[in-house]
Amino acid sequence: MKIERTDDSTYTIPRQGKMRVPGVLFADGRLYAGIDDGACLEQLMNVACLPGIVEASMAMPDIHWGYGFPIGGVAAFDMEEGIVSPGGVGYDINCGVRLLTTGLEKDEVQPRIRELIDVLFAAIPSGLGSHHREFRLSEKEMRAVCERGASWAVSKGYGDRGDLAHIEDLGCIGGADFEAVSQRAYERGKDQLGTLGSGNHFVEVGYVDQVIRKTQADQLGLYPGRVVVGIHTGSRGFGYQVCSESIEDLMPATRKYGISLPDKQLVCAPLKSPEGRRYLGAMACAANFAFANRQMITHFLREGMEAFFRRSAGELGVRVVYDVAHNIAKIEEHEVQGRRQKLCVHRKGATRALPPGHPLVPESCRNVGQPVLIPGDMGRYSYVLVGAPGALSRTFGSCAHGAGRVLGRNQALKATQGRRIEDELSRQGVYVRAAGRTTLREEFPQAYKDVADVVRVVEKAGLALPIARLKPIGVIKG
């Protein structure tokens, strides 16, 4: 393939073959050198062949191979000629990150981190196939979750209404169609609300290690040494089932509408077709389930901290900084070649990043800009950023969502054979609890890029500005 270095943060793949638009990769020389095979770049080119794609097929600096679209992929499609593709959203619909801040200081928590993590591990169901001990959702309740998202959880006493003001789209995206959800999807999801799951999902207790932009950090409640908690999970088996069935449903639609695909994993349907609308409706259900899931985990975490510290959550100062979705397709308005246009923006392993004053940023942080949460690995650090104007002009308001894998899970298992990752992390000052040791080996720190490299590129590209760096001291892994 032809690929050109455009500037110190961007590579361009010019149109070639059946590409309708160019490919754009946000990376510097160091990150580009770390892409050891061309599979994810080939995926970037394949996305550029899809009908109705606008401007470019894009990839964030945390790019790695995924199903259909690369993980870290962003693509926007015209509402008239464009398509929607489950592969452009991913199996874990609205996998996302929530950040909480507290009134606690690192020196107060670090000496007791083992006991605290053990309490939280008991309070938050985690691991493959984990389900909640307390309840199962009836179909009527599941419908309400799918239609109302995080506000359903708050209405049932899991948190308070103030939490909703700090969630993307206030914790509920429109257009949910529960009739598009199968009985099998309901069965898989009915007892998984309020659970962490497995893989790269986590609850991470850390602290603000470095403030980079004090004014914005102060506005978000991020002060040096302050204890924070990150929650990373999504729509669990419910979202997986929605995606899996949607791929099967859209295969005949792709043929029906005469869409030629460079890769069958890019199965899709026109946005204005019944099949396309049905997928968007089912996807919205799973996305709202994920918002409710993170809201309930927040509640269980507050309960665990209250019991441990023997103070109320209010006294502990546990509040939501922000909750961002990745793995989502959204209908948004953007400027394309000088005119406003409605588009369907696919963000797969990418997060929205909107600048100060943008109307889609909740009022709670509109003057700062939308917080962008980029977690790293268990052993190093994570970052809080805010959206910058360059994201609107270059990426339809999008940014990276994490460090990005450099080793697949099987490669990670080979690399860690005979090692005790929990002991290695303990020597670094990080206490870890996991449902199984295999997950720890799959997720060991060196399986990921250094997230500082990713943050450096998004700042250079003008997509987001780093506000604070966070360091972990205790982690729960699924």
Q: How far is 373 from 426, CA to CA, in rounded Å?
A: 25
Bridge partners (DSSP) listed for residue 334: 341
Q: How far is 30 from 12, CA to CA, in rounded Å?
A: 16
- Kindly name the residue from 201, 299, 346, 401 that is annotated as catalytic: 401
Strands 226-233 and 202-211: antiparallel
Helix segments in 190-273, DSSP class H: 214-219, 236-256
Q: Are 371 and 363 in contact (CB under 8 A)?
A: no
CA 82 to chain centre: 24
Active site residue 201: no
Q: Under 8 Å CB-to-CB from 349, ≥6 apart: which residues? A: 60, 62, 66, 70, 71, 72, 73, 90, 326, 327, 401, 402, 404
Q: How far is 131 from 135, CA to CA, in rounded Å?
A: 9
Q: How far is 385 from 396, CA to CA, in rounded Å?
A: 17
Dihedral Cα 302, 307, 313, 314, nearest 10 deg: 170
Give SS3 for 142: helix
Q: Are 469 and 383 in contact (CB under 8 A)?
A: yes
Give SS3 for 362: coil
Q: How far is 97 from 400, CA to CA, in rounded Å?
A: 12
Q: In this structure, what are the phi and psi dihedrals at residue 57, rounded to the nearest 5 degrees?
A: -90, 125
CA 314 to chain centre: 28
Q: Are 229 and 116 in contact (CB under 8 A)?
A: no
User: For residue 178, which of 152, 201, 198 has the smallest C-alpha distance?
Assistant: 152
Where do the DSSP E strands lie in 319-430? 319-336, 339-352, 371-374, 382-387, 398-400
Q: How far is 19 from 4, CA to CA, in rounded Å?
A: 16
Burial 147-177 (b: 16+ CB within 10 A, else e): bbbbbbbbebebbeeebbebbbbbbbbeebb
Catalytic residues: 401
